[in-house]
Amino acid sequence: MEVKFKESRNKLNELSGKEWIKFTKTWFIHRPLPRENAKLLHPAAFPESLVKEFVEFFTKRGQLVLDPFLGTGSTLIACIESNRCGIGVEVVKKWADIAEKRVENIIAQKRGSEHLLKTMGLQPERLLIKVIHGDSRNLSKIWQENGFPLVDYCITSPPYWNQLKRNYMRQKGRAEKGLATKYSEDPNDVGNIDDYDGFLKALKVVFNEVYKVTKNRGYLTVITNNVFFNGKIYPLAFDTVRILSEEPYLWVPKDEKIWLQDDKPLLPLGVFTAWVGNRAHQYCLIFRKEE
């Protein structure tokens, strides 16, 4: 069924009615292409092809996207590829530097095609793309100091509590390949907070700050998961919905889209003894600022 919207009626994005409806399905399977080296260095990067789909649903060209847990910069790559502006904040210098390099490379590639546009008499768009090395618990201060405009959309994947610090099985494989096995030793990295409630409080502070720098009616997508630790599930995804929808700076929960990872290898967890799930999905939680 082809649903036609007049362009002026589409307040949110530049998709056709058909594309819009397709994206509103609450689950999806996404099989990203194999990762390049710079991304492999980060133990928890998300695919930019996935971020791009969200960015293209929740913004129009030229609008501003924020990622307060930037990592190696997937969100900014997705922004450049879809002609959106983007600002990313990353507390660990090593990741911020990799993000900066990846952004420079993609922009340089784009400059090559700009020359072609100019010969065709077209003016290439100039996008604000910025990597900030800093702590997202100070976002509003960072915005003030840099004179950044308010954000149209935020998409991010916070640390899954201190999961990576503890994930020895995964560490072993990565360490053998000479790859990083945890985010950092940085005390400002919220992934280093061992107390679960303390971690949730730190997350709430970051998303309060995101709220302050976001336009009214702007959307937020948080990619996260529940975490299995010490024989039980810590419902991080569900707690994220709960804490973000609490005052002050209440984000209105709108939905979840479930990312099904059907390319994830199954591990022999608890076989013949007990239930331990092979978690092969993640939650993309959707919120909106409604004042």
Ligand X SMILES: C[S@@+](CC[C@H](N)C(=O)[O-])C[C@H]1O[C@@H](n2cnc3c(N)ncnc32)[C@H](O)[C@@H]1O
**Three-state secondary-structure class, residue 159:** coil
Distances (CA, A) of 202 to 59, 206, 237, 243, 244: 27, 6, 15, 11, 11
The answer for residues whose C-beta is within 8 angstroms of residue 64's C-beta and 6 or more apart is 84, 85, 86, 87, 128, 149, 150, 151, 152, 153
Distances (CA, A) of 280 to 47, 50, 206, 225, 255: 15, 16, 27, 10, 19
**Three-state secondary-structure class, residue 66:** strand
Of the residues 54, 58, 183, 211, which one makes contact with ligand X according to CB under 6 A: 183
Of the residues 82, 136, 162, 163, which one makes contact with ligand X according to CB under 6 A: 136
For residues 90 and 79, what is the distance between their CA atoms, to the nearest angstrom?
16
Of the residues 54, 76, 80, 159, which one makes contact with ligand X according to CB under 6 A: 159
Nearer to ligand X, 16 or 184 (CB): 184
Considering only residues 234 to 253 of the shown chain, the ones binding ligand X according to CB under 6 A are none
| 95 near ligand X, rule: CB under 6 A | yes
Torsion angle, CA of 224/96/213/249, rounded to 10 degrees? Answer: 40
Helices 93-119, 74-81: axis angle to 10 degrees equals: 10
Peptide bond into 248 cis (omega under 30): yes
Of the residues 64, 78, 89, 106, which one makes contact with ligand X according to CB under 6 A: 89
| 92 near ligand X, rule: CB under 6 A | yes
Of the residues 53, 57, 66, 71, which one makes contact with ligand X according to CB under 6 A: 71
| 88 near ligand X, rule: CB under 6 A | no
Nearer to ligand X, 64 or 206 (CB): 206
Nearer to ligand X, 68 or 218 (CB): 68
Residue count of the chain, please give it. 291
Of the residues 63, 74, 162, 225, which one makes contact with ligand X according to CB under 6 A: 74
Q: Return the range that interacts with ligand X (CB under 6 A); candidates 121-129, 154-162, 265-273, 280-288.
A: 154-162
CB 49 to ligand X: min, Å: 12
Q: Cβ-closest residue to ligand X? A: 71
Nearer to ligand X, 15 or 205 (CB): 205
| 91 near ligand X, rule: CB under 6 A | yes
Per CB under 6 A, residues contacting ligand X are: 42, 44-46, 68-69, 71-72, 74, 89-92, 95, 135-137, 157-159, 183-184, 188-191
